[in-house]
A and B are shown apart, each in its own frame.
Chain A
Protein backbone atom coordinates (compact mmCIF):
# COMPACT_ATOMS: atom_id res chain seq x y z
CA UNK A 1 0.00 0.00 0.00
CA UNK A 2 1.39 3.31 -1.11
CA UNK A 3 1.20 6.03 1.49
CA UNK A 4 -0.29 9.34 0.52
CA UNK A 5 2.47 11.89 0.14
CA UNK A 6 2.42 14.89 2.45
CA UNK A 7 1.54 18.05 0.55
CA UNK A 8 2.69 21.49 1.54
CA UNK A 9 0.52 24.51 0.84
CA UNK A 10 1.91 27.67 -0.66
CA UNK A 11 -0.06 30.87 -0.43
CA UNK A 12 0.12 32.14 -3.99
CA UNK A 13 -2.85 34.36 -4.84
CA UNK A 14 -3.94 37.35 -2.79
CA UNK A 15 -7.68 38.00 -2.29
CA UNK A 16 -7.48 40.96 -4.65
CA UNK A 17 -6.25 38.79 -7.48
CA UNK A 18 -8.76 36.04 -6.79
CA UNK A 19 -11.61 38.51 -6.83
CA UNK A 20 -10.22 40.03 -9.99
CA UNK A 21 -9.94 36.65 -11.63
CA UNK A 22 -13.57 35.67 -11.16
CA UNK A 23 -14.73 39.11 -12.12
CA UNK A 24 -12.67 38.72 -15.26
CA UNK A 25 -14.37 35.42 -16.03
CA UNK A 26 -17.82 36.96 -15.86
CA UNK A 27 -16.83 40.10 -17.75
CA UNK A 28 -15.00 38.30 -20.52
CA UNK A 29 -17.89 35.96 -21.21
CA UNK A 30 -20.35 38.85 -21.18
CA UNK A 31 -18.07 40.91 -23.40
CA UNK A 32 -17.42 38.10 -25.81
CA UNK A 33 -21.01 37.11 -26.44
CA UNK A 34 -22.43 40.64 -26.49
CA UNK A 35 -19.50 41.54 -28.72
CA UNK A 36 -20.33 38.75 -31.14
CA UNK A 37 -23.84 40.11 -31.41
CA UNK A 38 -22.64 43.67 -31.89
CA UNK A 39 -20.27 42.54 -34.63
CA UNK A 40 -22.95 40.47 -36.30
CA UNK A 41 -26.50 40.84 -34.98
CA UNK A 42 -27.38 37.24 -35.66
CA UNK A 43 -30.92 37.14 -34.36
CA UNK A 44 -33.80 39.31 -35.43
CA UNK A 45 -34.40 41.91 -32.77
CA UNK A 46 -37.94 42.98 -33.45
CA UNK A 47 -40.34 43.16 -36.29
CA UNK A 48 -43.74 44.71 -36.50
CA UNK A 49 -42.81 47.11 -33.71
CA UNK A 50 -41.83 50.73 -34.14
CA UNK A 51 -38.19 51.29 -33.18
CA UNK A 52 -39.39 53.81 -30.62
CA UNK A 53 -40.78 50.89 -28.59
CA UNK A 54 -38.57 48.08 -29.85
CA UNK A 55 -35.53 49.77 -28.36
CA UNK A 56 -36.86 48.82 -24.93
CA UNK A 57 -36.88 45.11 -25.75
CA UNK A 58 -34.63 43.12 -23.46
CA UNK A 59 -32.29 42.02 -26.23
CA UNK A 60 -32.30 45.12 -28.39
CA UNK A 61 -28.99 46.30 -29.80
CA UNK A 62 -29.18 49.22 -27.40
CA UNK A 63 -29.35 46.97 -24.34
CA UNK A 64 -26.77 44.50 -25.58
CA UNK A 65 -24.38 47.33 -26.28
CA UNK A 66 -25.15 48.71 -22.84
CA UNK A 67 -24.16 45.39 -21.24
CA UNK A 68 -21.01 45.32 -23.36
CA UNK A 69 -19.94 48.79 -22.30
CA UNK A 70 -20.85 48.17 -18.69
CA UNK A 71 -18.85 44.95 -18.58
CA UNK A 72 -15.97 46.73 -20.29
CA UNK A 73 -15.97 49.47 -17.68
CA UNK A 74 -16.15 46.97 -14.81
CA UNK A 75 -13.32 44.92 -16.26
CA UNK A 76 -11.13 47.97 -16.70
CA UNK A 77 -11.98 49.21 -13.21
CA UNK A 78 -11.16 45.81 -11.71
CA UNK A 79 -7.66 46.15 -13.10
CA UNK A 80 -7.14 48.50 -10.17
CA UNK A 81 -7.78 45.56 -7.87
CA UNK A 82 -5.27 43.53 -9.82
CA UNK A 83 -2.75 46.31 -9.59
CA UNK A 84 -3.26 46.42 -5.84
CA UNK A 85 -2.52 42.70 -5.61
CA UNK A 86 0.44 43.14 -7.90
CA UNK A 87 1.98 45.77 -5.66
CA UNK A 88 1.21 44.27 -2.25
CA UNK A 89 1.68 40.54 -2.79
CA UNK A 90 4.64 38.71 -4.29
CA UNK A 91 2.61 35.72 -5.47
CA UNK A 92 0.64 38.04 -7.75
CA UNK A 93 3.80 38.94 -9.55
CA UNK A 94 4.82 35.77 -11.32
CA UNK A 95 6.47 37.32 -14.37
CA UNK A 96 7.93 35.43 -17.26
CA UNK A 97 11.56 36.14 -16.37
CA UNK A 98 13.10 35.99 -19.80
CA UNK A 99 16.36 37.18 -18.43
CA UNK A 100 16.91 34.16 -16.18
CA UNK A 101 18.15 30.74 -17.11
CA UNK A 102 15.41 29.20 -15.00
CA UNK A 103 12.80 30.59 -17.34
CA UNK A 104 14.26 28.92 -20.40
CA UNK A 105 14.96 25.64 -18.60
CA UNK A 106 11.39 25.62 -17.35
CA UNK A 107 10.10 26.38 -20.82
CA UNK A 108 11.87 23.38 -22.29
CA UNK A 109 10.94 21.18 -19.34
CA UNK A 110 7.20 21.89 -19.55
CA UNK A 111 7.20 21.91 -23.33
CA UNK A 112 8.77 18.45 -23.46
CA UNK A 113 6.28 17.22 -20.90
CA UNK A 114 3.30 18.55 -22.85
CA UNK A 115 4.71 16.93 -25.98
CA UNK A 116 4.76 13.58 -24.12
CA UNK A 117 8.54 13.40 -24.33
CA UNK A 118 8.95 13.71 -20.58
CA UNK A 119 6.71 11.88 -18.16
CA UNK A 120 6.68 14.65 -15.60
CA UNK A 121 7.69 18.25 -15.29
CA UNK A 122 9.27 19.75 -12.24
CA UNK A 123 6.96 21.38 -9.70
CA UNK A 124 6.48 25.10 -10.29
CA UNK A 125 4.42 27.77 -8.61
CA UNK A 126 3.79 28.72 -12.18
CA UNK A 127 5.70 27.24 -15.08
CA UNK A 128 7.39 29.34 -17.74
CA UNK A 129 4.80 28.47 -20.37
CA UNK A 130 1.96 29.58 -18.12
CA UNK A 131 3.81 32.74 -17.13
CA UNK A 132 4.21 33.64 -20.79
CA UNK A 133 0.59 32.79 -21.51
CA UNK A 134 -0.73 34.97 -18.69
CA UNK A 135 1.51 37.87 -19.58
CA UNK A 136 0.27 37.74 -23.15
CA UNK A 137 -3.37 37.49 -22.15
CA UNK A 138 -2.94 40.59 -19.99
CA UNK A 139 -1.51 42.23 -23.07
CA UNK A 140 -4.52 41.15 -25.10
CA UNK A 141 -6.95 42.41 -22.45
CA UNK A 142 -5.19 45.76 -22.39
CA UNK A 143 -5.28 45.91 -26.18
CA UNK A 144 -9.00 45.18 -26.07
CA UNK A 145 -9.41 47.92 -23.49
CA UNK A 146 -7.50 50.49 -25.50
CA UNK A 147 -9.17 49.68 -28.81
CA UNK A 148 -12.54 49.37 -27.10
CA UNK A 149 -12.33 52.75 -25.46
CA UNK A 150 -10.87 54.27 -28.62
CA UNK A 151 -14.07 53.31 -30.40
CA UNK A 152 -16.35 54.06 -27.49
CA UNK A 153 -14.96 57.54 -26.84
CA UNK A 154 -15.79 58.60 -30.37
CA UNK A 155 -19.46 58.71 -29.44
CA UNK A 156 -18.56 62.23 -28.38
CA UNK A 157 -15.78 63.22 -30.78
CA UNK A 158 -15.10 66.46 -28.94
CA UNK A 159 -15.24 64.99 -25.45
CA UNK A 160 -12.24 64.67 -23.19
CA UNK A 161 -12.06 60.90 -23.69
CA UNK A 162 -11.92 61.27 -27.44
CA UNK A 163 -9.20 63.91 -27.16
CA UNK A 164 -7.06 61.50 -25.19
CA UNK A 165 -7.60 58.27 -27.04
CA UNK A 166 -8.46 59.25 -30.60
CA UNK A 167 -4.81 59.19 -31.76
CA UNK A 168 -4.98 55.41 -31.30
CA UNK A 169 -7.56 55.30 -34.07
CA UNK A 170 -5.11 56.94 -36.43
CA UNK A 171 -2.02 55.01 -35.35
CA UNK A 172 -3.83 51.84 -36.31
CA UNK A 173 -4.47 53.13 -39.87
CA UNK A 174 -8.09 54.02 -39.28
CA UNK A 175 -10.97 53.43 -36.94
CA UNK A 176 -12.26 50.58 -39.05
CA UNK A 177 -8.99 48.73 -38.45
CA UNK A 178 -9.54 49.27 -34.73
CA UNK A 179 -12.86 47.44 -34.99
CA UNK A 180 -11.16 44.62 -36.86
CA UNK A 181 -8.33 44.31 -34.33
CA UNK A 182 -10.79 44.41 -31.42
CA UNK A 183 -12.75 41.60 -33.02
CA UNK A 184 -9.78 39.37 -33.82
CA UNK A 185 -8.17 39.80 -30.41
CA UNK A 186 -11.49 38.89 -28.77
CA UNK A 187 -11.34 35.57 -30.56
CA UNK A 188 -7.74 35.06 -29.50
CA UNK A 189 -8.72 35.61 -25.88
CA UNK A 190 -11.44 32.98 -26.28
CA UNK A 191 -8.89 30.54 -27.71
CA UNK A 192 -6.72 31.30 -24.69
CA UNK A 193 -9.67 30.54 -22.41
CA UNK A 194 -10.09 27.08 -23.93
CA UNK A 195 -6.43 26.23 -23.44
CA UNK A 196 -6.33 27.84 -19.99
CA UNK A 197 -9.33 25.94 -18.65
CA UNK A 198 -7.98 22.70 -20.05
CA UNK A 199 -4.52 23.26 -18.61
CA UNK A 200 -5.89 24.06 -15.19
CA UNK A 201 -8.04 20.95 -15.03
CA UNK A 202 -5.22 18.90 -16.42
CA UNK A 203 -2.85 20.17 -13.76
CA UNK A 204 -5.45 19.36 -11.12
CA UNK A 205 -5.87 15.81 -12.36
CA UNK A 206 -2.20 15.10 -13.01
CA UNK A 207 -0.50 16.90 -10.17
CA UNK A 208 -3.33 17.02 -7.63
CA UNK A 209 -2.08 20.36 -6.39
CA UNK A 210 -5.46 22.05 -6.13
CA UNK A 211 -4.88 24.23 -9.16
CA UNK A 212 -8.56 25.09 -9.63
CA UNK A 213 -9.35 25.65 -5.98
CA UNK A 214 -6.19 27.71 -5.75
CA UNK A 215 -8.03 30.56 -7.40
CA UNK A 216 -10.59 30.39 -4.59
CA UNK A 217 -8.51 29.59 -1.52
CA UNK A 218 -5.32 31.22 -2.72
CA UNK A 219 -3.28 28.11 -1.91
CA UNK A 220 -1.59 25.57 -4.12
CA UNK A 221 -0.14 22.31 -2.81
CA UNK A 222 3.09 20.57 -3.62
CA UNK A 223 4.84 17.37 -2.59
CA UNK A 224 8.23 18.84 -3.31
CA UNK A 225 9.35 22.37 -3.03
CA UNK A 226 8.50 24.22 -6.28
CA UNK A 227 11.52 25.23 -8.31
CA UNK A 228 10.48 28.88 -8.35
CA UNK A 229 9.44 29.07 -4.67
CA UNK A 230 11.74 32.02 -4.19
CA UNK A 231 9.26 34.14 -6.15
CA UNK A 232 7.06 34.03 -3.06
CA UNK A 233 9.89 35.30 -0.93
CA UNK A 234 9.45 32.49 1.59
Chain B
Protein backbone atom coordinates (compact mmCIF):
# COMPACT_ATOMS: atom_id res chain seq x y z
CA UNK B 1 0.00 0.00 0.00
CA UNK B 2 3.04 2.23 0.32
CA UNK B 3 2.95 3.18 -3.34
CA UNK B 4 -0.15 5.22 -2.90
CA UNK B 5 0.33 8.89 -2.66
CA UNK B 6 3.65 8.59 -4.47
CA UNK B 7 4.71 9.26 -8.00
CA UNK B 8 6.75 7.06 -10.26
CA UNK B 9 9.71 9.38 -9.82
CA UNK B 10 9.57 9.13 -6.03
CA UNK B 11 9.39 5.37 -6.27
CA UNK B 12 12.54 5.27 -8.32
CA UNK B 13 14.27 7.55 -5.85
CA UNK B 14 13.16 5.44 -2.92
CA UNK B 15 14.73 2.43 -4.59
CA UNK B 16 17.95 4.32 -5.32
CA UNK B 17 17.49 3.99 -9.06
CA UNK B 18 19.29 6.56 -11.14
CA UNK B 19 17.64 9.37 -13.08
CA UNK B 20 18.96 7.68 -16.19
CA UNK B 21 16.99 4.52 -15.41
CA UNK B 22 13.93 6.63 -14.76
CA UNK B 23 14.25 8.40 -18.10
CA UNK B 24 14.82 5.13 -19.92
CA UNK B 25 11.67 3.74 -18.35
CA UNK B 26 9.78 6.82 -19.49
CA UNK B 27 11.09 6.41 -23.03
CA UNK B 28 9.92 2.78 -23.04
CA UNK B 29 6.55 3.84 -21.73
CA UNK B 30 6.19 6.46 -24.44
CA UNK B 31 6.79 3.83 -27.07
CA UNK B 32 4.37 1.32 -25.54
CA UNK B 33 1.65 3.90 -25.22
CA UNK B 34 1.95 4.50 -28.92
CA UNK B 35 2.85 8.15 -28.44
CA UNK B 36 5.09 10.19 -30.68
CA UNK B 37 8.72 10.58 -29.48
CA UNK B 38 8.11 14.30 -28.87
CA UNK B 39 5.69 13.28 -26.15
CA UNK B 40 8.57 11.97 -24.02
CA UNK B 41 8.74 15.23 -22.10
CA UNK B 42 5.09 14.99 -21.21
CA UNK B 43 5.50 11.43 -20.04
CA UNK B 44 8.49 12.42 -17.88
CA UNK B 45 6.60 15.37 -16.46
CA UNK B 46 3.58 13.21 -15.68
CA UNK B 47 5.72 10.48 -14.13
CA UNK B 48 7.26 13.08 -11.85
CA UNK B 49 3.97 14.57 -10.73
CA UNK B 50 1.05 12.19 -11.14
CA UNK B 51 0.19 9.94 -8.22
CA UNK B 52 -0.11 6.25 -8.99
CA UNK B 53 -3.62 4.96 -9.34
CA UNK B 54 -4.71 2.02 -7.21
CA UNK B 55 -5.79 -1.07 -9.12
CA UNK B 56 -8.19 -3.71 -7.89
CA UNK B 57 -8.09 -6.92 -9.84
CA UNK B 58 -11.06 -9.29 -9.62
CA UNK B 59 -11.26 -12.83 -10.93
CA UNK B 60 -14.47 -14.25 -12.31
CA UNK B 61 -15.23 -17.19 -14.53
CA UNK B 62 -11.83 -17.76 -16.10
CA UNK B 63 -8.59 -19.75 -16.12
CA UNK B 64 -6.07 -17.19 -14.73
CA UNK B 65 -4.30 -17.33 -18.07
CA UNK B 66 -4.35 -13.55 -18.19
CA UNK B 67 -2.45 -13.48 -14.86
CA UNK B 68 0.07 -15.88 -16.28
CA UNK B 69 0.68 -13.60 -19.20
CA UNK B 70 0.87 -10.50 -17.01
CA UNK B 71 3.60 -12.18 -14.97
CA UNK B 72 5.52 -12.64 -18.19
CA UNK B 73 5.25 -8.99 -19.09
CA UNK B 74 8.69 -7.87 -20.24
CA UNK B 75 8.65 -4.19 -20.92
CA UNK B 76 7.99 -3.02 -18.27
CA UNK B 77 9.03 -6.10 -16.30
CA UNK B 78 6.26 -7.85 -14.43
CA UNK B 79 7.90 -7.29 -11.07
CA UNK B 80 8.14 -3.62 -11.92
CA UNK B 81 4.55 -3.45 -12.99
CA UNK B 82 3.25 -5.17 -9.91
CA UNK B 83 5.46 -3.60 -7.34
CA UNK B 84 6.19 -0.18 -8.71
CA UNK B 85 4.27 1.14 -11.58
CA UNK B 86 0.70 0.29 -10.88
CA UNK B 87 -0.31 0.09 -7.36
CA UNK B 88 -2.01 -3.27 -7.35
CA UNK B 89 -4.07 -3.25 -4.20
CA UNK B 90 -6.01 -6.43 -4.54
CA UNK B 91 -5.44 -9.50 -6.62
CA UNK B 92 -6.47 -12.75 -5.00
CA UNK B 93 -4.20 -15.06 -6.96
CA UNK B 94 -1.01 -13.12 -6.27
CA UNK B 95 -1.71 -11.96 -2.74
CA UNK B 96 0.34 -13.42 0.09
CA UNK B 97 -2.70 -13.31 2.33
CA UNK B 98 -5.79 -15.37 1.77
CA UNK B 99 -9.29 -15.86 3.10
CA UNK B 100 -11.06 -13.38 5.32
CA UNK B 101 -8.16 -10.97 5.92
CA UNK B 102 -7.75 -10.54 2.17
CA UNK B 103 -11.46 -9.96 1.60
CA UNK B 104 -11.39 -7.53 4.49
CA UNK B 105 -8.52 -5.75 2.79
CA UNK B 106 -10.55 -5.50 -0.42
CA UNK B 107 -13.37 -3.82 1.45
CA UNK B 108 -10.95 -1.36 3.01
CA UNK B 109 -9.31 -0.50 -0.29
CA UNK B 110 -12.65 0.02 -1.99
CA UNK B 111 -13.69 2.30 0.84
CA UNK B 112 -10.44 4.24 0.97
CA UNK B 113 -10.18 4.94 -2.77
CA UNK B 114 -13.83 5.17 -3.63
CA UNK B 115 -14.31 6.62 -7.10
CA UNK B 116 -10.59 6.67 -7.81
CA UNK B 117 -9.43 3.12 -8.41
CA UNK B 118 -9.11 1.17 -11.63
CA UNK B 119 -11.05 -2.05 -11.56
CA UNK B 120 -9.49 -4.74 -13.70
CA UNK B 121 -11.81 -7.67 -14.22
CA UNK B 122 -10.60 -10.95 -15.52
CA UNK B 123 -13.19 -13.55 -16.44
CA UNK B 124 -16.78 -13.72 -17.51
CA UNK B 125 -19.82 -13.23 -15.29
CA UNK B 126 -22.02 -16.33 -15.01
CA UNK B 127 -25.64 -15.41 -14.41
CA UNK B 128 -27.41 -18.77 -14.50
CA UNK B 129 -28.93 -19.86 -11.18
CA UNK B 130 -28.19 -16.50 -9.55
CA UNK B 131 -24.53 -16.75 -10.41
CA UNK B 132 -23.68 -19.74 -8.25
CA UNK B 133 -21.32 -21.14 -10.88
CA UNK B 134 -18.62 -18.77 -9.75
CA UNK B 135 -18.36 -18.03 -6.05
CA UNK B 136 -15.68 -15.78 -4.60
CA UNK B 137 -15.42 -15.34 -0.84
CA UNK B 138 -18.74 -17.12 -0.38
CA UNK B 139 -20.65 -14.77 -2.65
CA UNK B 140 -21.60 -15.05 -6.31
CA UNK B 141 -19.01 -13.27 -8.39
CA UNK B 142 -21.65 -11.06 -9.99
CA UNK B 143 -22.34 -9.49 -6.58
CA UNK B 144 -18.67 -8.85 -5.90
CA UNK B 145 -18.38 -7.30 -9.31
CA UNK B 146 -21.38 -5.00 -8.84
CA UNK B 147 -20.01 -3.85 -5.50
CA UNK B 148 -16.51 -3.21 -6.79
CA UNK B 149 -17.75 -1.56 -9.98
CA UNK B 150 -19.83 0.94 -8.06
CA UNK B 151 -16.74 2.74 -6.74
CA UNK B 152 -14.49 2.30 -9.76
CA UNK B 153 -13.26 5.21 -11.83
CA UNK B 154 -12.60 3.00 -14.81
CA UNK B 155 -13.26 -0.66 -15.48
CA UNK B 156 -10.91 -2.72 -17.59
CA UNK B 157 -12.20 -5.92 -19.14
CA UNK B 158 -9.03 -7.97 -19.17
CA UNK B 159 -9.14 -10.84 -21.61
CA UNK B 160 -11.80 -12.19 -23.93
CA UNK B 161 -13.88 -13.65 -21.09
CA UNK B 162 -14.43 -10.30 -19.45
CA UNK B 163 -14.76 -8.54 -22.80
CA UNK B 164 -17.09 -10.93 -24.63
CA UNK B 165 -17.97 -13.86 -22.38
CA UNK B 166 -15.14 -16.08 -23.52
CA UNK B 167 -14.92 -19.81 -23.88
CA UNK B 168 -17.42 -20.55 -21.13
CA UNK B 169 -19.95 -18.59 -23.17
CA UNK B 170 -19.52 -21.07 -26.04
CA UNK B 171 -22.67 -22.78 -27.20
CA UNK B 172 -24.80 -23.81 -25.40
CA UNK B 173 -23.41 -21.59 -22.62
CA UNK B 174 -24.74 -23.63 -19.67
CA UNK B 175 -23.67 -21.08 -17.05
CA UNK B 176 -25.05 -18.16 -19.07
CA UNK B 177 -21.72 -16.37 -18.96
CA UNK B 178 -21.69 -12.81 -20.21
CA UNK B 179 -19.20 -9.99 -20.48
CA UNK B 180 -18.69 -7.43 -17.74
CA UNK B 181 -20.28 -4.70 -19.85
CA UNK B 182 -23.44 -6.82 -20.12
CA UNK B 183 -23.82 -6.55 -16.36
CA UNK B 184 -22.34 -3.17 -15.48
CA UNK B 185 -23.83 -0.08 -17.06
CA UNK B 186 -23.11 3.59 -16.77
CA UNK B 187 -19.36 3.17 -16.20
CA UNK B 188 -16.37 3.83 -18.39
CA UNK B 189 -15.36 0.40 -19.61
CA UNK B 190 -12.33 -0.47 -21.70
CA UNK B 191 -12.16 -3.77 -23.51
CA UNK B 192 -8.75 -5.41 -23.56
CA UNK B 193 -9.66 -8.67 -25.28
CA UNK B 194 -7.33 -11.53 -26.07
CA UNK B 195 -6.90 -15.02 -24.80
CA UNK B 196 -4.77 -13.85 -23.11
CA UNK B 197 -4.25 -10.19 -24.01
CA UNK B 198 -0.71 -9.00 -24.61
CA UNK B 199 0.52 -7.94 -21.14
CA UNK B 200 2.15 -4.76 -22.42
CA UNK B 201 -1.23 -3.72 -23.78
CA UNK B 202 -2.79 -4.01 -20.37
CA UNK B 203 -0.01 -2.22 -18.52
CA UNK B 204 0.08 0.34 -21.31
CA UNK B 205 -3.57 1.21 -20.77
CA UNK B 206 -3.11 1.45 -17.00
CA UNK B 207 -0.04 3.66 -17.40
CA UNK B 208 -1.80 5.88 -19.89
CA UNK B 209 -4.56 6.46 -17.39
CA UNK B 210 -2.10 6.97 -14.55
CA UNK B 211 0.03 9.48 -16.40
CA UNK B 212 -2.58 11.48 -18.25
CA UNK B 213 -5.62 10.95 -16.09
CA UNK B 214 -7.70 9.85 -19.05
CA UNK B 215 -8.14 6.83 -21.22
CA UNK B 216 -6.38 6.32 -24.53
CA UNK B 217 -8.55 6.78 -27.64
CA UNK B 218 -11.00 3.91 -28.00
CA UNK B 219 -12.56 2.36 -31.10
CA UNK B 220 -16.26 1.80 -31.69
CA UNK B 221 -16.46 -1.23 -29.40
CA UNK B 222 -14.30 0.30 -26.68
CA UNK B 223 -10.89 -1.16 -27.38
CA UNK B 224 -7.83 1.09 -27.20
CA UNK B 225 -7.09 2.07 -30.79
CA UNK B 226 -3.35 2.03 -30.59
CA UNK B 227 -3.35 -1.67 -29.72
CA UNK B 228 -6.45 -2.92 -31.55
CA UNK B 229 -6.40 -0.62 -34.53
CA UNK B 230 -4.83 -3.00 -37.01
CA UNK B 231 -5.52 -6.44 -38.29
CA UNK B 232 -2.85 -8.99 -37.55
CA UNK B 233 -3.12 -9.78 -41.26
CA UNK B 234 -1.97 -6.28 -42.16
CA UNK B 235 0.97 -6.35 -39.77
CA UNK B 236 1.94 -9.96 -40.41
CA UNK B 237 5.44 -10.63 -41.67
CA UNK B 238 4.02 -13.52 -43.74
CA UNK B 239 1.77 -11.16 -45.66
CA UNK B 240 3.90 -11.12 -48.85
CA UNK B 241 3.24 -14.85 -49.19
CA UNK B 242 -0.48 -14.18 -48.98
CA UNK B 243 -0.33 -11.52 -51.67
CA UNK B 244 1.70 -13.81 -53.89
CA UNK B 245 -0.65 -16.75 -53.46
CA UNK B 246 1.88 -18.94 -51.62
CA UNK B 247 0.04 -20.95 -49.00
CA UNK B 248 0.75 -23.70 -46.53
CA UNK B 249 -1.48 -26.64 -47.45
CA UNK B 250 -0.52 -28.98 -44.63
CA UNK B 251 1.34 -28.47 -41.41
CA UNK B 252 4.20 -30.64 -42.60
CA UNK B 253 4.59 -29.56 -46.21
CA UNK B 254 7.39 -27.63 -47.85
CA UNK B 255 5.43 -24.38 -47.73
CA UNK B 256 5.09 -24.70 -44.00
CA UNK B 257 8.82 -25.25 -43.71
CA UNK B 258 9.48 -22.23 -45.90
CA UNK B 259 7.22 -20.08 -43.72
CA UNK B 260 4.47 -19.38 -46.22
CA UNK B 261 1.09 -17.90 -45.39
CA UNK B 262 -1.16 -19.89 -43.04
CA UNK B 263 -4.41 -18.59 -44.55
CA UNK B 264 -5.53 -21.99 -45.83
CA UNK B 265 -4.76 -23.53 -42.46
CA UNK B 266 -7.60 -21.46 -41.05
CA UNK B 267 -5.64 -18.39 -40.02
CA UNK B 268 -8.09 -15.80 -38.70
CA UNK B 269 -5.59 -12.94 -38.90
CA UNK B 270 -7.65 -11.16 -41.60
CA UNK B 271 -10.37 -10.70 -38.97
CA UNK B 272 -8.18 -10.37 -35.89
CA UNK B 273 -7.53 -6.96 -34.40
CA UNK B 274 -4.60 -7.10 -32.05
CA UNK B 275 -0.97 -6.11 -31.64
CA UNK B 276 0.54 -9.56 -32.00
CA UNK B 277 1.98 -8.72 -35.40
CA UNK B 278 3.90 -5.66 -34.29
CA UNK B 279 4.46 -5.96 -30.52
CA UNK B 280 4.63 -9.74 -30.38
CA UNK B 281 5.06 -11.64 -27.14
CA UNK B 282 7.80 -12.28 -24.63
CA UNK B 283 9.72 -9.15 -25.38
CA UNK B 284 9.06 -9.28 -29.10
CA UNK B 285 10.28 -12.85 -29.41
CA UNK B 286 7.39 -14.45 -31.28
CA UNK B 287 3.64 -14.77 -31.76
CA UNK B 288 1.37 -17.63 -32.86
CA UNK B 289 1.71 -17.07 -36.61
CA UNK B 290 5.48 -16.84 -36.26
CA UNK B 291 5.54 -20.17 -34.47
CA UNK B 292 3.71 -21.73 -37.42
CA UNK B 293 0.24 -21.86 -35.88
CA UNK B 294 -2.66 -20.07 -37.59
CA UNK B 295 -4.21 -17.23 -35.61
CA UNK B 296 -7.59 -18.05 -34.04
CA UNK B 297 -8.51 -14.38 -33.51
CA UNK B 298 -8.62 -14.95 -29.75
CA UNK B 299 -9.41 -11.29 -29.18
CA UNK B 300 -12.54 -11.41 -31.34
CA UNK B 301 -16.08 -11.81 -30.15
CA UNK B 302 -17.48 -15.32 -30.57
CA UNK B 303 -14.19 -16.78 -31.83
CA UNK B 304 -14.81 -19.88 -29.71
CA UNK B 305 -17.82 -20.95 -31.75
CA UNK B 306 -16.24 -20.49 -35.14
CA UNK B 307 -14.81 -23.93 -35.55
CA UNK B 308 -13.08 -25.82 -37.07
CA UNK B 309 -10.13 -23.56 -36.29
CA UNK B 310 -7.93 -25.09 -38.95
CA UNK B 311 -10.29 -24.32 -41.81
CA UNK B 312 -10.84 -21.00 -43.48
CA UNK B 313 -14.62 -20.99 -42.97
CA UNK B 314 -16.70 -22.66 -40.30
CA UNK B 315 -18.33 -25.94 -41.19
CA UNK B 316 -21.99 -26.33 -42.07
CA UNK B 317 -23.49 -29.05 -39.88
CA UNK B 318 -24.99 -31.52 -42.31
CA UNK B 319 -26.34 -34.71 -40.67
CA UNK B 320 -23.53 -37.20 -40.00
CA UNK B 321 -20.79 -34.79 -40.97
CA UNK B 322 -19.64 -31.20 -41.22
CA UNK B 323 -19.43 -29.86 -44.75
CA UNK B 324 -17.67 -26.90 -46.19
CA UNK B 325 -19.62 -24.03 -47.71
CA UNK B 326 -18.13 -24.35 -51.19
CA UNK B 327 -18.91 -28.05 -51.35
CA UNK B 328 -22.49 -27.50 -50.23
CA UNK B 329 -22.79 -24.64 -52.71
CA UNK B 330 -21.40 -26.66 -55.58
CA UNK B 331 -23.63 -29.65 -54.88
CA UNK B 332 -26.70 -27.43 -54.51
CA UNK B 333 -25.86 -25.67 -57.77
CA UNK B 334 -25.45 -29.03 -59.50
CA UNK B 335 -28.73 -30.37 -58.19
CA UNK B 336 -30.44 -27.12 -59.09
CA UNK B 337 -29.09 -27.25 -62.65
CA UNK B 338 -30.36 -30.80 -63.04
CA UNK B 339 -33.62 -29.68 -61.50
CA UNK B 340 -34.19 -26.82 -63.92
CA UNK B 341 -33.19 -29.04 -66.85
CA UNK B 342 -35.78 -31.60 -65.77
CA UNK B 343 -38.34 -28.86 -65.24
CA UNK B 344 -37.57 -27.49 -68.68
CA UNK B 345 -38.06 -30.90 -70.31
CA UNK B 346 -41.32 -31.41 -68.43
CA UNK B 347 -42.50 -27.94 -69.45
CA UNK B 348 -41.80 -28.67 -73.09
CA UNK B 349 -43.72 -31.93 -72.92
CA UNK B 350 -46.62 -30.22 -71.23
CA UNK B 351 -46.61 -27.43 -73.78
CA UNK B 352 -46.51 -29.89 -76.72
CA UNK B 353 -49.33 -31.86 -75.21
CA UNK B 354 -51.32 -28.70 -74.68
CA UNK B 355 -50.72 -27.56 -78.27
CA UNK B 356 -51.83 -30.95 -79.58
CA UNK B 357 -54.98 -30.75 -77.51
CA UNK B 358 -55.68 -27.26 -78.79
CA UNK B 359 -55.27 -28.42 -82.34
CA UNK B 360 -57.62 -31.34 -81.70
CA UNK B 361 -60.11 -28.95 -80.26
CA UNK B 362 -59.76 -26.57 -83.18
CA UNK B 363 -60.36 -29.43 -85.58
CA UNK B 364 -63.44 -30.49 -83.69
CA UNK B 365 -64.69 -26.92 -83.75
CA UNK B 366 -64.23 -26.79 -87.52
CA UNK B 367 -66.40 -29.89 -87.86
State the A residues within 8 Å of B (CB): 2, 36, 39-41, 44-47, 49, 51-52, 54-55, 57, 59-62, 64, 114, 116, 119-120, 154-155, 157-158, 166-167, 170, 173-177, 179-180, 183-184, 187, 190-191, 194-195, 198, 201-202, 205-206
Contact = CB atoms under 8 A, between A and B. Distances in A.
16 contacts: A36-B326, A41-B264, A45-B245, A46-B245, A51-B241, A55-B243, A61-B242, A61-B244, A157-B219, A176-B297, A176-B300, A180-B314, A187-B333, A191-B332, A194-B340, A198-B341
Contact of B333 (A46, A47, A116, A194): A194
Interface in B246-303: 246-247, 255, 263-264, 268, 270-271, 273, 297, 300-303
Contact of A62 (B243, B270, B326, B344): B243
B107 interface: no
Contacts of B297: 176
A137 to B, nearest CB: 15
B230 A183 contact: no
A195 B347 CA distance: 14
B337 A194 contact: yes
Closest 6 CB pairs of A and B: A45-B245, A54-B244, A187-B329, A51-B240, A198-B340, A51-B244
Given A39-B326, A170-B301, 14 more contacts: A2-B359, A40-B326, A44-B245, A45-B246, A46-B246, A55-B240, A61-B245, A64-B245, A120-B354, A176-B300, A194-B333, A194-B336, A195-B340, A205-B348
Contacts of B244: 45-46, 49, 51, 54-55, 57, 60-62
Q: How large is the interface on B (under 10, 10 to 19, 20 to 34, 35 or more residues)?
A: 35 or more
A206 B347 contact: yes
**Which one of B241, B271, B273, B314 has the highest number of Cβ atoms from chain A below 10 Å of its Cβ?**
B271
A134 to B, nearest CB: 17
Nearest to A61: B245
A45 B242 CA distance: 10
Given A40-B326, A194-B337, A119 B313 contact: no
Contacts of A206: 347, 351
B225 interface: yes
A64 B255 CA distance: 21
Interface in B294-347: 297, 300-303, 306, 312-314, 325-326, 328-329, 332-333, 336-337, 340-341, 343-344, 346-347
Interface of B: 219-221, 225, 229-231, 234, 240-247, 255, 263-264, 268, 270-271, 273, 297, 300-303, 306, 312-314, 325-326, 328-329, 332-333, 336-337, 340-341, 343-344, 346-348, 350-351, 354, 359, 362
B152 to A, nearest CB: 25
A177 B302 contact: yes
A60 B243 contact: yes
B246 A175 contact: no
Given A36-B326, A194-B336, A174 B302 contact: yes
B302 A60 contact: no
A152 B169 CA distance: 29
B310 to A, nearest CB: 13
B301 A174 contact: yes
B111 to A, nearest CB: 37
Contact of B220 (A167, A184, A195, A205): A167
B288 to A, nearest CB: 16
Given A40-B264, A51-B246, A119-B350, A191 B336 contact: yes
Contact of A157 (B263, B273, B302): B273
